Amino acid sequence: MSALAAALRKDLLLHWRTRAQVAAVYGFGASALLLFSFAVGPNAAVLREHAAGFLWLGLLLSSTLTLAESFHAEMEHRALEGLLLLPASARALYYAKAVANALALAALGAGLVPVMVVLYDAATLRIPALLGIVLLGSAGLSAPGTLYAAMTSQARARQTLLPLLLFPLVVPVLLGAVKATALLIHGDPMGQLRSWTLLLVCFDVIHWSLCGLLFERVVED
């Protein structure tokens, strides 16, 4: 547990030191939402109807930038080999990196929510529930995204390979997060929110378990 805490502290510090890049990723996500609104046109009803989907597409596209750079410092200074020599398991290093990435993506998603509200007139009073969905969806993107980021970190085209590997795998996350967010915005007369939230929880549990087991093999290869 102490090794995990130390590794998590290291990754959070890396995110803090690269906060200028975090601001650039946020600008990218906000710009994507703006462009999506231009593509739909000035129809307020249509904009509101598609607000949830556009929010998660913006977060998904932005997440590839965050995840692709998550191992940049370790690879640039060849620090990953040194970390693996420490008395800490590869699994602890993975979970520290994945938790840091999930928190970064959740903060990004929470920051994009006001942009969605302004551009698409998609306000909701269920803010805590919406932030919970953002956290679950961010965790679902982070678990496989961190593993694939490690796999592609030494490739020259890592920012191209990562989306190709990640996007097909996270379709259940995207579907569940979009549906749950839409129900929070438009109402849930049929009581479907619990089912979509359960889908996100199940995906998170499965992939956080499997990816933690596979990470050691990935970094050793």
Taking only the tens of pLDDT, the chain with its 221 residues reads: 576 777 777 777 777 777 777 788 899 999 999 998 888 877 888 888 899 999 999 999 998 888 887 776 666 666 565 555 555 677 778 888 899 899 999 999 999 999 999 998 888 778 899 999 999 999 999 999 988 888 887 767 667 788 888 999 999 999 999 999 999 998 888 889 999 999 999 999 999 999 888 887 776 65
Q: What is the DSSP letter of 157?
A: T
CA-based nearest residue to 50, from 42, 58, 40:
40
Q: How far apart are CA 73 and CA 80, in angstroms?
A: 9
Q: How far apart are CA 112 and CA 108, in angstroms?
A: 6
**Residue-level pLDDT at 203:** 93
**Residue-level pLDDT at 200:** 94
Residue 126: strand, helix, or coil: coil
What's the token pair of residue 36?
Answer: 């999506």
88-103 burial, b at 16+ Cβ within 10 Å, e below that, comes to bbbbbbbbbbbbbbbb
Using CB atoms within 10 Å of the CB of residue 131, give its burial: 0 to 12 exposed, 13 to 18 middle, 19+ buried.
middle
| pTM assigned to the model | 0.88
Residues 177, 137 contacting (CB under 8 angstroms): yes
CA-based nearest residue to 135, from 75, 166, 180:
180
